[in-house]
Amino acid sequence: MLQNEVLKAIGDKYGKTVAQVVVRWLTQRGVVAIYKPRGILNHMVLDRSPKLDLVFHALAHPARREIIRQLSGGERNLTELASPLKMTFPAATKHVRVLEGARLVRRRIVGRQHLCRLHAAPLKEATLWTEQFRRYWEARFEALDSLLDEMKADELGAEEKPRCR
C-alpha cells in the first residue's frame, strides 16, 4: 500500500500517472525496453509513391472526378466546370487546386477567366498500378470458372447414373 502511495505522490509531483512512473522506473533500470518508432510505420504499404497518393486522393471526391470527365472533352473555364456541379466559384476553385496538386489539371488565367485543361499523364501511373490487380482478379475468376465447370460436370454425371432402388 505504501508503494502505491509513493508512486502516486511521484506521479502527482511530475504530472504523470502511476503506470507512467512505473514504466519509466523499469526502463531506467533496464528491466523493460520501450520501442518508440519514428514516424508512421505501415508494413502493409509496399509502394510508397507520393505522386500516386496525390492522384488517388484527387480522384476520391465525386466532384473532382466529374471535373476530370468534363475536361476530357477539352479546355473549360472554371465557371463552366462549377455550374453542372451546383457549387460556388470558390468551392470549384478548391477542387481544381487539389487536381492541380496531383498534376491532373493545368490552369491558366486569361483576364478574368480561369481556363483549365486536363493533363492525363498522372492517370497513366494510376492505371498501371491498378492493372496488376486486374490481372490477379482475372486469374481468380478463371479459377472460379473452371471450378464451376467441374461442379456442373459432376452434377450432370450424377444425374445420368441410374439410381438403384
- Distances in Å between the Cα of 161 and the Cα atoms of 81, 151, 158 are 67, 16, 6
pLDDT of res. 54: 92
Positions of E strands within the chain: 76-77, 105-110, 113-118
C-alpha span between 158 and 135 (Å, rounded): 35
pLDDT of res. 70: 95
The per-residue pLDDT string of the chain (165 residues; one tens digit each, 9 = 90 and over) reads 556 676 677 667 777 776 777 767 666 776 655 555 555 555 455 566 888 899 999 999 999 999 999 999 999 999 899 999 988 889 999 999 999 999 999 999 999 998 999 999 999 988 888 888 888 888 888 888 988 998 988 888 877 766 565
- For the whole model, what pTM was predicted? 0.58
Query: Under CATH, which number does the domain 50-121 receive?
Result: 1.10.10.10
Which residue has cell 492525363? Answer: 120
pLDDT of res. 102: 95
C-alpha span between 143 and 91 (Å, rounded): 47
pLDDT of res. 164: 61
φ, ψ (nearest 5 deg) of residue 130 = -75, -20
